Amino acid sequence: MAHEQHQQLLQALHECMEECNHCFNACLQEDDVKMMAECIRLDRECADICSYLEQAISRKSPYVSELASVCAKICEDCGKECDKHDSEHCKKCAEACFKCAEACKKVS
C-alpha cells in the first residue's frame, strides 16, 4: 500500500469511527429510539471495525486486505441504514461511511 493511500484510508477510518460513535450516541437520545434501533446496532458494528482496522494498518498487519474487505461491507450497510433517516447526525454518518467504504475497497 502506497504511503498516500495509507494516510487517506487512516483518515477515512478515523472520521467514520467518530461519526458512527457520534450517531450512536445521538440516536440513543432521539424521541423515537425504536426507529433508530438498526442504526444504533450498525453504528457500533461500524465504529468497532473501523477502529480495529486503524490499528491493524498502523502496525502493518499482514491482514489489512482481508479486514478492509469486511470493513467495506459494514461501512456500506451502516451508510445505507443511516441514509434512511433525516437527522443531521445520520446524514453525516452515512457520508463518512460511504467515503470509508470506497477507501477500504482500494486496499481489499
Q: Which residues bind its own copies (CB under 8 A)?
A: 10, 14, 17-18, 20-22, 24-25, 28-29, 31-34, 36-38, 40-41, 44-45, 47-49, 51-52, 54-56, 58-63, 66-67, 69-70, 73-74, 77
Between 65 and 106, CB nearer to its own copies: 65
Dist. CA 73–CA 33, nearest whole Å: 25
Closest distance between its own copies and the C-beta of residue 91, in Å? Answer: 18
Closest distance between its own copies and the C-beta of residue 75, in Å? Answer: 11
Closest distance between its own copies and the C-beta of residue 102, in Å? Answer: 18
Closest distance between its own copies and the C-beta of residue 52, in Å? Answer: 6
3 state SS for the chain? CCHHHHHHHHHHHHHHHHHHHHHHHHHHCCCCCHHHHHHHHHHHHHHHHHHHHHHHHHCCCCCHHHHHHHHHHHHHHHHHHHHCCCCHHHHHHHHHHHHHHHHHHHHC
